[in-house]
Structure 1
Amino acid sequence: MDIIIRNARISDKENLKDVAVKDGKIIKIEENIAEKASEEIDADGRVLIPGLVESHIHMDKALIADRLPNRSGTLAEAIKVTAELKPTFTKEDVEERATKVLMMLIQHGITHIRTHSEFDPSQGFTGFETILKLKEKFKNVVDIQVVAFPQEGIFKTPGTEKMMYEAMEMGADAVGGIPYNDAPANEHIDLVFEIAKKYNRPLDFHQDFKDGPEGMTIEYLCEKTIKEGYEGRVSVGHLTSLGAIERERLLPIIELMRKAQINVMSLPATDLHLGGRNDEYNVRRGITPIRALRDGGVNVCISTNNIRNAFTPYGNGDLMQTAMLAIPVGHLGGADDIETVLSMITVNPAKAIGITEYGLEAGKNADMVLLDTKKVKDAIIDIPERLYVIKNGKITVKTEKKIQYNFAV
């Protein structure tokens, strides 16, 4: 064996297990494995989870908050100031910032990433080409999917439609869309489906990102998904408008989403920051209804979205912190709720972005994280240190925890 992790907690309802790894795969998960390994790790009852999955992030426009601040904190100003900054980006600039973000993510246990990378006639493919380069450069330590994302719209930004096809030819893994920032929205959806079908790629939308329900296109998107036979291959981020409608209207939409197998990426750090800016009292949370979606059978994920830019002026790449934020804001702290949150940053996003051979099972890829906590149910609320990160059967991150108390009691 290459690695054996001994005495690991995989379930709070089962005994401690040993996990054996060879040639990048999990070979055995058993009690007291007799074989020896080149590297043996004593988990001492600590929790072992599959690698964290960051399913919606923008690496190419991270770490720019101090260049042109969003002083109003609104989505409109975030789009405006970022559009002004993008033409100033160089490939060297994007590579430096995106690399810093990758290092943040990797050290916090991320083993898979889906990143939206944008382009338009004003900036060209500067950021997009750089992110594709980093995908290749970091392939041995993290798997990266790149979404071709038209942030400034397609129809309202002439020349972008042609660039969408060019981006797919360059190697984009998914087709992005943003119907709320283009017109007409339904034709925007139709066009990106056309592109996705041409290249047999999944779709990932920035969807219905408003405080209120006006202009929602999620129902049209669901119907289009079913019509095109794309069930399970369409994801949506934000979807905050869905939280602004009454239950009588909400539940049929959720059922339609379940039928279309739409994946939802909730982005609480961004949505809380930008949402409800015009509310003078009883300010809305501005979060998609995570519990109702989950209970309605929709695959729900939690993701970061942005780090330290006009959309989200904070963040350190720790998906556990984002999941912890989602617990109170999404009313996920109940005894039956809190245990469902870990799956929203592991198995749920893995399913959403089409990761195969994923999970803590014999025969799966050895992508794992050992946490400094001893209960699976506390894996989020402890925001524990990632003691070991293992990718493709190799240790990529090791954290040595040293605490020294300089007081007496």
Structure 2
Amino acid sequence: MDLLIKQARIADGDSLKDIAINDGKIVQIAEHIEESATRVIEADGRVLIPGFVESHIHLDKALIADRKPNKSGTLQEAIKVTAELKPTFTSEDVYDRAKRVLDMIIPNGVTAIRTHSEFDPAQGFTGFEVILKLKEEYKDLVDIQVVAFPQEGIFKAPGTEEMMYQAMEMGADVVGGIPYNDAPANEHIDLVFEIAKKYGKDVDLHQDFANEADNMSIEYLCKKTIAEGYQGRVSVGHLTALHALPPEELARIIELMAEADINVMALPATDLHLGARSDEYNVRRAVTPIRKLRDGGVNMCIATNNIRNAFTPYGNGDILQTAMLAIPVAHLGGADDLGTVLPMITTNPARAIGLKNYGIAEGNQADVVLLDTKVVEQAIIDIPTRLFVIKNGRVTVETTKEVTIHR
């Protein structure tokens, strides 16, 4: 065998397990495996989890907060500032920044990424082409899906519709969209589905990113998804407007979302920063209702979105910290809730973005992370060191930790 991980904790309340890996696959899981291996990792009861899945991020516009700050902290200024900066991006600039972010994310245990990559008539495909290049360059370290994303709208920015088709021909993996920043929103959704069906691709939308629940298109999206037979193949990010719905209306929408099998990527780091900026008192959290969506049968994920730009002026590429942020924000710290958070950055987003052979089971791809903690339920709140990151059965990151307390 190539690799043997000995005495790892896979599930609380279960015995420790040895995990044998060969040719990039998990070939055996048992309490004790005696066969030899090229390398043996002594887990000593530490937690082994599937690789983290970063299901919604923007690599192409990261690390630009210092170039033109968003002084009001509003979504409107974030869009305006970024639109002004994008035509100044060069291929070298995007490559440098996106690479730096990947080099931040990968040591933190992420083995799969879905990144939204922008293009429009003003900037062309400069950044989009770079992200496709990085997808290939980093394929041995992380699986990257690239979303064709029209941030400035499609109909609002003449020429973008043609570019959407071009992006798919160039190699985009997913069809993106942003109904709330285009008009009319329903026709925007129709066009996205038309493109997705033409190329046999999934759909991922920036959806209903607003403080109020007016002008939402999520209900139309759900009905369109069902009509097109796209259940399970549509994901939405943000969806903050749901938090402003009265309980009865919210319950009806959630039931429809569950029927359409819509995946939701909550983005708390961004939405807390931008949301409810006009509230003068009793300021709202302005984050999609994670608990209610989860309880309503919707596949809930947590993702980073942006790192150090006009939308999110902070972040270090550690998805565990984003999940930790979501715990108090969404009231997920209770005894019955805490255990549901880790799946929101592992198995749930893996399902959302269509990863195959994912998870710790015999026959699956060996994408796993060994954490410096011994309780699975505490894998988030400990924010533990990622001691080993293993991608396709190969150790890609190894972190040593030494702490000395002088008394």
TM-score of the two chains, using structure 2 as the length reference: 1.00
Q: Does the residue aligned with 2:361 lie in a helix, a strand or coil?
A: coil
- Counterpart of 2:182 in structure 1 is 182
Shift of 1:65: 0.2
Residues 224-257 of structure 1: CA deviation (Å, up to 9, x unaligned)? 0000010000000000001111110011110100
Residues 132-191 of structure 1: CA deviation (Å, up to 9, x unaligned)? 000000001100000000000000100000000000000000000100000000000001
- Counterpart of 1:39 in structure 2 is 39
Q: May I ask how many residue pairs the two structures share in their alignment?
A: 407
- Rounded to whole Å, the distance in 2 between the matches of 1:101 and 1:110 is 12
- Rounded to whole Å, the distance in 1 between the matches of 2:400 and 2:106 is 16
**2:124 corresponds to 1:132:** no
**2:393 corresponds to 1:366:** no
1:146-157 alignment runs, 5 A limit = 146-157=146-157
- Counterpart of 1:50 in structure 2 is 50
- Rounded to whole Å, the distance in 2 between the matches of 1:137 and 1:42 is 31
- Rounded to whole Å, the distance in 2 between the matches of 1:211 and 1:29 is 48
- Rounded to whole Å, the distance in 2 between the matches of 1:37 and 1:277 is 56
- Counterpart of 1:311 in structure 2 is 311
- Counterpart of 2:116 in structure 1 is 116
What runs of 5+ residues in structure 2 fail to find an aligned partner?
Answer: none
- Counterpart of 1:89 in structure 2 is 89
- Counterpart of 2:161 in structure 1 is 161
1:218-367 alignment runs, 5 A limit = 218-367=218-367
Q: Does the residue aligned with 1:168 lie in a helix, a strand or coil?
A: helix
- Rounded to whole Å, the distance in 2 between the matches of 1:211 and 1:44 is 47
- Rounded to whole Å, the distance in 2 between the matches of 1:256 and 1:403 is 51
Shift of 1:34: 1.0
User: Which residue type is aligned with residue 101 of structure 1?
Assistant: V
- Rounded to whole Å, the distance in 1 between the matches of 2:177 and 2:193 is 9
Residues 172-220 of structure 1: CA deviation (Å, up to 9, x unaligned)? 0000010000000000000110000000000000000001101010000
Q: What is the identity percentage for the equivalent residue pairs of Structure 1 and Structure 2?
A: 72
**2:377 corresponds to 1:377:** yes
- Rounded to whole Å, the distance in 1 between the matches of 2:37 and 2:268 is 41
Shift of 1:317: 0.4
What RMSD, in angstroms, separates the aligned Cα atoms of the two structures? 0.4
Structure 1 segments (4+ residues) deviating >3 Å:
none
- Rounded to whole Å, the distance in 2 between the matches of 1:129 and 1:58 is 14
What runs of 5+ residues in structure 1 fail to find an aligned partner?
Answer: none
User: Which residue type is aligned with residue 340 of structure 2?
Assistant: T
User: Which residue type is aligned with residue 48 of structure 2?
Assistant: L
Shift of 1:50: 0.2
User: Which residue type is aligned with residue 30 of structure 2?
Assistant: E
- Rounded to whole Å, the distance in 1 between the matches of 2:379 and 2:201 is 34
- Rounded to whole Å, the distance in 2 between the matches of 1:372 and 1:276 is 37
User: Which residue type is aligned with residue 41 of structure 1?
Assistant: I
- Rounded to whole Å, the distance in 2 between the matches of 1:115 and 1:354 is 14
**2:8 corresponds to 1:8:** yes
Shift of 1:404: 1.9
- Rounded to whole Å, the distance in 2 between the matches of 1:105 and 1:362 is 27
- Counterpart of 1:199 in structure 2 is 199
- Rounded to whole Å, the distance in 2 between the matches of 1:4 and 1:103 is 26
- Rounded to whole Å, the distance in 2 between the matches of 1:368 and 1:196 is 31
- Rounded to whole Å, the distance in 2 between the matches of 1:140 and 1:334 is 38
- Rounded to whole Å, the distance in 2 between the matches of 1:143 and 1:335 is 33
Q: Does the residue aligned with 2:400 lie in a helix, a strand or coil?
A: coil
User: Which residue type is aligned with residue 357 of structure 1?
Assistant: N
- Rounded to whole Å, the distance in 2 between the matches of 1:165 and 1:174 is 12
- Rounded to whole Å, the distance in 2 between the matches of 1:175 and 1:248 is 32
- Rounded to whole Å, the distance in 1 between the matches of 2:371 and 2:63 is 27
- Rounded to whole Å, the distance in 1 between the matches of 2:300 and 2:25 is 27
- Counterpart of 1:403 in structure 2 is 403
**2:74 corresponds to 1:74:** yes
Residues 369-405 of structure 1: CA deviation (Å, up to 9, x unaligned)? 0000000000000000000000000000000001122
User: Which residue type is aligned with residue 247 of structure 2?
Assistant: R
- Counterpart of 1:26 in structure 2 is 26
Q: Does the residue aligned with 1:308 lie in a helix, a strand or coil?
A: coil
User: Which residue type is aligned with residue 297 of structure 1?
Assistant: G
Shift of 1:32: 1.0
Shift of 1:107: 0.5
- Counterpart of 1:213 in structure 2 is 213
Shift of 1:103: 0.7
Shift of 1:288: 0.4
